[in-house]
Amino acid sequence: QLNPGEKRIGYEVLGFLLITQILVQEYLHERRVKDASAKNSGLDNNDDGADNETDFTLISTSDLTPQEIAARKCTLCLSQRKNTTATTCGHLFCWSCIIEWCQNK
């Protein structure tokens, strides 16, 4: 129970933290894209005058953050996903893991 004069913290703090997290992740993503673009422009020696910018950037697994690596793991076997498949609800698993889970279920 709350004492008189105490106020319960609402969802405002959670909303602020979520917005802060999204902004930080966006900043880090933009910085990675900018750094990768700078590296790629230094490697391209194309003299035909064409614009060398691309709409995407390939990132090797060594450039991934621990959160991004964890997002690529299968939640059933807890290892890197192999032959990734998606369920109708959008969750991603290894093909062999989801087949085994379905057989056991």
What pTM does this model have? 0.36
Give pLDDT tens digits for 83-103: 888 888 888 888 898 888 888
Q: pLDDT: is 77 or 8 the higher one? A: 77
Give pLDDT tens digits for 47-91: 444 444 444 444 455 555 666 666 788 888 888 888 888 888 888
Give the separation between CA 38 and CA 27, rounded to whole angstroms: 16
pLDDT score for 19: 92
pLDDT score for 70: 65
Q: pLDDT: is 95 or 10 the higher one? A: 95
Give the separation between CA 98 and CA 76, rounded to whole angstroms: 8
Give pLDDT tens digits for 17-50: 889 999 999 999 899 888 888 777 765 444 444 4
Across the strands, what pairs with 92?
A: 86
Number of CB atoms found within 10 A of residue 92's CB: 15
pLDDT score for 73: 84
